[in-house]
Amino acid sequence: MIYTPPTLADRWHCKADAVRELLASGKLKGFRVGRSHWRITLAEVERYERTIHADPERRKVIEGLDDEVLLGLYAGLVRFRLHDHTLKRWVKRGVLSKAWLGTGEEAVTIGAVHALERDRDVVAPMIRNAGACHEMGMPLETVFAGYLGTGDGPNGGRDGHFGDLGHGVLQPISPVGEMVPVVTGIGLAFRQRREPRIALTWVGDGSTKTTAVHEGFNLAGVLRSPVVFFLQNNQVALGTRLEQHQIDGFGGWPDMYGMRGMAVDGNNVLDVYAATRLAAEHARSGNGPVLIVAETFRMGGHATHDEAEARRTFAPELFETWGRRDPIGLYEEWLNRRGIPRERLEEVESAVADEVESAAERALASRDERMPAPESAELPGVSAGLRQPGLAARPI
């Protein structure tokens, strides 16, 4: 049986005038990011329910959630997907050259962040976990300004990798896996100051082949750092399939480093939320780090520039299989079965869509008014060599 209820992607596209016009003109062919594959099935709905009931501890956490929390998770999922749709729209219009999207993987980010104490915990997202920024409290306008490089962006226009320590978001860096030892050290600082806080970061399956990941995992395990690690297995590293770079699964990895381990359905936001809540309590209580392995899939290419290549590289069945496990569509169905009417969900979607569209418009306006001065890219005492080669001050 195939479920085809109205989806947020369909509804939202009808609300954005710019998108509607481009769709009508035929210039945005393929804009819906594999939209034809988003078809949840009865089998996947039932699988979703079984996952929620499989672990007694997680089930207890989920059963204790009220409608406000549940709808907050839903708004977060919608906000993240529309954030990505906005970036893709900008690429199609030439506003950006490319974008790294988390479409299809939203639950791993949203479920994890919402399970934290967001007023004091710290996260270090990968670029594909950008939803962590706005869910930790960064205004969407600021997030979009970061991509546009405007002077009012979080990094003053210096770099497309951004964060906001005031909201507990460390900015990602290009070398994948490098944030593992960083958050391990942050966790140790929390412990030494006797602060009941934790740090959380995500690493992709490809990142597990880097030295920093193994060193960071080992250090965290040995020193019992209060950290939660998400191993976000989206089945492909850049263009390398999982079976080409990994023997067997990741189930044994927590034991290798002396950490508590969990496995979650990365497309089930409730499973991710409950596991993260339990992992955070474990780490916060002084019991050491937790490694959560999340199985999910990237419904696109490594970035927007190679989506067509991804479609040629991977079998169509792979996209169809994971399209039946749309994290938002399945959660919509679960909420509806719980008793939250679709009309209420549409109200949430509408409010979030307006929020995203308004933030995007304000960020775009900053390109004309608040671009940084060229000299602002220089760092005193470090960048002088750009103007006087060989005379740059040597950082201590």
- Examine residue 378 and state whether it is found in any structural domain, yes or no: no
Q: Alpha carbon 316 to chain centroid distance?
A: 24
Q: Which domain holds residue 202?
A: 8-360
Query: Per-residue pLDDT averaged across 11-22, rounded?
Result: 40
Q: Is 212 a member of any domain?
A: yes
Task: Assess if residue 40 is contained within a domain.
Answer: yes
Q: Is the pLDDT of residue 328 over 90?
A: yes
The CA dihedral of 6, 9, 10, 15, to the nearest 10 degrees, is 120
pLDDT of residue 327: 95
- Provide the domain count of the chain: 1
pLDDT value at residue 380: 63
Residue 386 lies in a domain: no
pLDDT of residue 234: 77
Q: Is the dihedral of CA 336, 326, 115, 127 positive or negative?
A: negative
Q: Is residue 380 part of a domain?
A: no
Q: Is the dihedral of CA 141, 144, 146, 148 positive or negative?
A: negative
Which segment of 9-23, 110-124, 202-216 scores lowest on mean pLDDT? 9-23
Q: Is residue 387 part of a domain?
A: no
Task: Specify if 235 maps to a domain.
Answer: yes
Map tokens 């079984």 to a residue.
Answer: 50
Q: How sure is the predictor about 19, in pLDDT bands with cuts at 50, 70 and 90? A: very low
Contact (CB, 8 A) for 375 and 105: no
Tens-digit pLDDT profile for residues 94-116: 988 888 788 899 999 999 999 99
pLDDT at residue 158 tops 50: yes
CA distances from 13 to 3, 34, 114, 329, 350 (A): 20, 14, 27, 16, 11
Express each pLDDT in 253-311 by its tens digit. Answer: 788 888 999 999 999 999 999 999 999 999 999 999 999 999 988 887 666 777 777 77
CATH of the domain at 341: 3.40.50.970
Contacts of 14 (CB under 8 A, 6+ apart): 20
pLDDT band, residue 240 (cuts 50/70/90): low
User: Does residue 248 lie in a domain region?
Assistant: yes
As a whole number of angstroms, the distance between CA 395 and CA 315 comes to 50
Alpha-carbon dihedral sign for residues 56, 114, 178, 297: positive
